Amino acid sequence: MVYGVGTMKRAIVFGFLGPVLSGWVLLISNYLLDSRDVNYLLVAPYMVLQIIPLLMCGFADFLLDGVRLGERVVVLAVAGALLSCGAMLLVESTVLQKAVFVIAIALSGALAAAVCSLTTRVVNQGKAG
């Protein structure tokens, strides 16, 4: 494993793109699931909360750098879903009492981690040449 510019790009992608994407997925999934009792003011704090789980997924992505792309994306999607639900559970346990919120939060974490992993793969393709 070589530390360098690729590692910094990965941290930037998982630290900045991930929470924004996670917030948008949360909003869209709540709209599609027709959830009436969503407090849309909680999306911004949720995006801030997602920085730590997504940076942890970024570290896992770094460790899985040599693994095939499909396996890496699946592992990070599962890790993103579990870490997102865990982070939300630590902050406010009453949110996870409704199945709709669990689905939305897990989906937002999984999709954000998977897309960030794909993005880092594309961004770091230039360093191999």
pLDDT of residue 79: 92
pLDDT of residue 127: 58
Q: Residue 16 to residues 55, 96, 100: CA-CA distances in angstroms? A: 10, 25, 26
Per-domain boundaries in the chain = 5-124
| 95-113 tens-digit pLDDT | 667 777 788 888 888 989 9
**pLDDT for the residue 95:** 65
pLDDT at 68 over 80: yes
* pTM (2 d.p.): 0.81
Average pLDDT, stretch 65-79? Answer: 90
Within 15-68, residue ranges assigned H as helices are 18-32, 43-49, 51-63
